[in-house]
Amino acid sequence: MSFGTAEYQERIQKTKERMASKGIEVLLITDPANMNYLSGYDGWSFYVHQMLIIIDDEDQPIWVGRTMDANAAKITTWLYHDNIISYPDTYVQSDVKHPMDFVADILKQIGQDKRCVGVEMENYYFTAKCYEQLKKGLPNASFQDATLLVNWVRIVKSDQEIKYMKQAAIFAEKAMNTGIEMINEDIRECDVAAQILHAQVTGTAEFGGDYPAIMPLMPSGERTSTPHLTWTDARYKNNESVILELAGCYKRYHSPLARTIHIGAPSDELKKLAQVTLEGLEKCLAMIKPGIVLEEICETWTRSIAAHGYEKESRIGYPMGLNYPPDWGEHTASIRKGDRTILQPNMTFHLIPGMWCDKSGFEVSESFRVTETGCEIFADLPRGLFVKSKALIR
């Protein structure tokens, strides 16, 4: 397990307190990150239905999943083996029965079928079919939306979680440096991606990397006008930019990082965009401390870029840490106007004030934790525009 039993028990207790505040007696967890957070379960099995059941008056959760994955639960979790229950393969991708039928039957057998049941409605892994089958199988239960209930418990990290994220940051630096060094004219994008992935997974001599929740994002040329593109088999050209956004990952904990590279001589417009973005980022980092609310960071950013004639509508950051594909973000707070979330020590965020124009863009980011007096940046890498030629990097 990545943590001691005491830490998992503390997380369960905090989750039950949130359940009680919402009147939820039975909580059904299908988000794999939340399953991991509360039980330690770690397997690439989230492509089939699986679940962690939290019952208000039971000490341990119940894990429910496919039979071939039950041993993974025994290996990776802190749960008693009696609390690991598996459904046969006849439930997998069947058009006559559904894993939620199996879950409903379990809840009936243990007398939990007439209680208030919380489900993660807004979740990649909880489908409309899941909800319909649960309602059909538990006609005497009342259902409540428990989306993000556990995510909000996760927003303040333990010291051990912070250690894992700092290790992930070392992997992120290594992968970013690999990409920056390799990107140049006539080099294929896919070859750079391969070396970045290799760096992410090999990690260091002391610690190996995990697979990140998001593949390296690395648009080039006009594709830098949008952030969420990966790679192609095209070759890099002279006088075009490349944006790299990636993360190191250790024991499922992420530390994202973004930088921008330009091949050849950058235009005055790009240099100005880089300068404005960097200035705004640094002003934001300088004012972060416990007690302020997230929208104050956004206001600092907005004022900074407005002084140079720029504006940006989208948010500039979000909490991150433990996660699985397709996202390393936690889906709770956002660094944007109107978010009144108060910063506390050991909250962790990815501050990413990217600027995307019609045909180009500039992106730079830092992952950080809130400290007792300010913030601690995880990675140690120059932030400016990286300018490349066949013989030069600076």
| Position 394 in a domain | no
Phi, psi of 28 (to 5 degrees): -105, 115
| Position 393 in a domain | no
Residues 101 and 132 in one domain: yes
pLDDT of residue 357: 81
Residue 390 has pLDDT above 80, yes or no: no
What's the mean pLDDT when you consider all of the chain?
96
Residue 231 has pLDDT above 60, yes or no: yes
Beta bridge partners of 87: 66
Residue 222 has pLDDT above 60, yes or no: yes
Residues 82 and 226 in one domain: no
pLDDT of residue 57: 95
State which of 119, 154, 189 marks the end of a domain: 154
Residues 234 and 297 in one domain: yes
Residues 56 and 131 in one domain: yes
State which of 91, 122, 154 marks the end of a domain: 154
Predicted confidence (pLDDT) per residue in 299-347, tens digit: 999 999 999 999 999 999 999 999 999 999 999 999 999 999 999 999 9
Residues 142 and 183 in one domain: no
Q: Pick the closest to residue 219 from 195, 240, 243, 199 (CA basis).
A: 243
Residues 137 and 188 in one domain: no
Q: State pTM to two decimals.
A: 0.96
Rounded mean pLDDT of 65-86?
A: 98
CATH of the domain at 144: 3.40.350.10
pLDDT of residue 359: 75
d(CA 115, CA 25): 6
State which of 98, 119, 154 marks the end of a domain: 154
Residues ≥6 apart with Cβ < 8 Å to 90: 97
Residues 257 and 285 in one domain: yes
Residue 228 has pLDDT above 80, yes or no: yes
Residues 123 and 228 in one domain: no
Residue 394 has pLDDT above 70, yes or no: no
Residues 131 and 24 in one domain: yes
* Domain of 143, in residue numbers: 5-154
d(CA 210, CA 254): 9
Helix-helix angle 189-202:159-182, to 10 degrees: 150
Residues 192 and 245 in one domain: yes
pLDDT of residue 360: 79
In the chain, the number of structural domains is: 2
d(CA 32, CA 322): 10
The number of residues in the chain equals 394
DSSP code at position 68: G
d(CA 118, CA 38): 16
CATH of the domain at 240: 3.90.230.10
pLDDT band at 263 (very low <50, low <70, confident <90, very high): very high
Token pair belonging to 309: 């004639």
pLDDT band at 13 (very low <50, low <70, confident <90, very high): very high
Residues 138 and 259 in one domain: no
Q: What percent of the chain has pLDDT over 70?
A: 99
d(CA 380, CA 212): 20
Predicted confidence (pLDDT) per residue in 193-213, tens digit: 999 999 999 999 999 999 999
